[in-house]
Amino acid sequence: MADAYMDLVGSGFGKVLAKQLGLPQPPTLRRYVEGEPIAPGPVLLLGAGDTAQQLADVLLGWGLDVRRHFTDGVRFGAVLLVADSFEAPSELSAPALELGRAVKSLARGARVISLSKQAASQDAPAVAAVRRGIEGLVRSVARELRGGATANGLFLGDGVDGFNASLLGALRFFLSGKSAYVDGQFLSVSTTDSEVPDVRTAQYDGAASPLAGKVAVVTGAARGIGAAIARVLKRDGATVVVVDVPAAGDALTKVANELGGTALQLDITRADAGQVILDHARGRHGSLDIVVHNAGITRDKLLANMDQAKWDSVIAVNLESQLRMNEAFLAADLPGLRIVTLASTSGIAGNRGQTNYAASKAGVMGVVASTSPALEARGGGMNAVAPGFIETEMTAKIPVATRAVGRLLLPSLMQGGLPLDVAEAVSFLASPAANGINGQTLRVCGQSLIGA
């Protein structure tokens, strides 16, 4: 989406003026482009042990230039901190300081990624300390990076090593331009009995139709984030069914025609909405493999001024409809079904004037945690994506100066995300490469808790 402010401060006199006035100068983010390298320069791999060596072998197999020690004059495209074997805070000192040296010479759009264990109640105090310490390190580094670089982390579950397919799928996502607006976030990866692609060789291409043969349903798909999700799912090989209310029928049909899919005009608050979606997907396309719960509404008011109609309508659309549809999908016993639902940073941190919306989106995350085990037992799973400030047609109407001030509140990326950024995260979580990721909420917010 074109942005007058970013165009103004991105070059020439506007860039000089913005620097003099201390105005935010948002970097151009490195987003996915087919055929471009997964990292924009050599990869520095810090750490020792079996996992580090396994990852080095895999990265070399991907055709990447892997370095095991910092070298002056190199513009690193990524830094991997492998710390899954750390058992005391003192072990973090040397690699952290070496990471600090590398941060000064990162390429634009570089990635910093930690691989560690998540702290647990049964850990010895020193072990728990270093594991939590890594989280603080990564989230703080993310706020120090510039040039569109990001920092994220992966938690390795029991039995997960450097050859684990789901771990490598998540690593590719974080390394690539598909994670452009994911910053300061962690995903946990576990072992899985489900089928996952072999991602260990250069022949594996994370963009080469990972959803081929899948039938995906996206609700609220007539425009905005929903339409972007539908487009990315189609790009990644899925056959797409787009769903929206009858009032959005014309726009919905255009999206369906563009993608070679089918349109289903449906009010998802209907008691039988889940069965209607099932019947359409099976009848027209033979199966239902992916469901994206994107449809949602806002009816903002301070709680003191909230009426029952505004409260109930938001809960009905954003939360209760999903509960009923999920019941229908579980009753149908769909093998390998993956569900991705849209939460919000408002549901994590709250937002003034959005008590109903925040309650609904926090509720969605509760649904994910509760429903995911049943889907995992059938070879599938459920996760959520929580967008922050995403720049849509609606936010583009905010005055340029107001948006510029708002960006001062954002961390190092200094800009809102795009619907595409949300769509990339959804498509990854819907893919077989994410089979070891279940019951989690991934924020797509540029490490900010601002937005809806």
What is the distance between the alpha carbons of residues 333 and 291, in angstroms, rounded to a whole number?
Answer: 14
**For this structure, is 357 an active site residue?**
yes
* Helices 355-376/308-315 angle, 10° precision: 20
What is the distance between the alpha carbons of residues 236 and 39, in angstroms, rounded to a whole number?
Answer: 20
End-to-end CA distance of the chain: 18
Cα separations in angstroms, 152 against 182, 343, 350: 8, 20, 23
* Sequence-distant (≥ 6) Cβ neighbours of residue 431 within 8 angstroms: 169, 210, 211, 236, 338
Are the C-beta atoms of residues 156 and 170 closer than 8 Å to each other?
Answer: no
Are the C-beta atoms of residues 290 and 216 closer than 8 Å to each other?
Answer: yes
Q: Is the dihedral of CA 9, 14, 20, 23 positive or negative?
A: negative
Residue 424 identity (one-letter amino acid): E
Are the C-beta atoms of residues 55 and 45 closer than 8 Å to each other?
Answer: yes
Are the C-beta atoms of residues 1 and 418 closer than 8 Å to each other?
Answer: yes
Cα separations in angstroms, 216 against 242, 260, 263: 8, 13, 12
Catalytic residue (choose from 5, 32, 181, 357): 357
Burial class (CB in 10 A: 0-12, 13-18, 19+), 202: exposed
Strand partners, 444: 387
Q: Calculate the dihedral angle through the C-alpha atoms of 119, 120, 123, 129, rounding to the nearest 10 degrees.
A: 30
* Sequence-distant (≥ 6) Cβ neighbours of residue 396 within 8 angstroms: 1, 3
Residue among 293, 257, 288 at smallest CA distance from 382: 293
Q: How many CB atoms lie within 10 A of CB 441?
A: 21
* Sequence-distant (≥ 6) Cβ neighbours of residue 234 within 8 angstroms: 240, 259, 260, 261
Q: Which two tokens stand for residue 400?
A: 């340029």
What is the distance between the alpha carbons of residues 355 and 131, in angstroms, rounded to a whole number?
Answer: 34
Residues assigned a catalytic role: 357
